[in-house]
Amino acid sequence: MVPSEPRGSRHAARIGILGVEVTGFSLATAAAWATESLDPPFSWSQVLIETAVILIVGIVTISMTQRLLQRIKTLEGFLSICASCKKVHVDDRWVPIEEVLDRGSDLRLSHGVCDDCAQRLYGEYLTGPTKH
């Protein structure tokens, strides 16, 4: 997650992706109709079958895209939080949780131990850099 990003920008990007897909499948349908109408004799059955296939592929594709975008939203919503001082690991640094939460987002918190607290709590047991 990038906390400095505006709150609605990811939502707008998701809507944009779905809009591009809908537009693409609409253009594919229009092309199928145009091709059939410009290539006599016009066959209603063929154009309806092509339209149905494009519609089915479009619905499946858009449905899968929506599920993937929801999964991305869920995965982006996880942060590592220090179990001791409650600092949050963002952009390779530990910052106070209030700094992240004040920016407003759909977050779920996870636990970890920041470098300062690991040293304070477990310093005698540490041999190398702490893991996040």
pTM to 2 decimals? 0.48
Tokens standing for residue 60: 């499946």
Give the contacts of 18 (CB within 8 A, at least 6 positions apart): 62, 65, 66, 69
CB 114 within 8 Å of CB 82: yes
Q: Which two tokens stand for residue 103?
A: 């920016």
37-83: pLDDT as tens digits: 887 787 888 888 989 999 999 999 999 988 888 877 766 677 788 88
DSSP 90: E
Kind and range of the H or E run holding 121? helix 115-122
113: how many CB neighbours lie within 10 A of its CB?
23
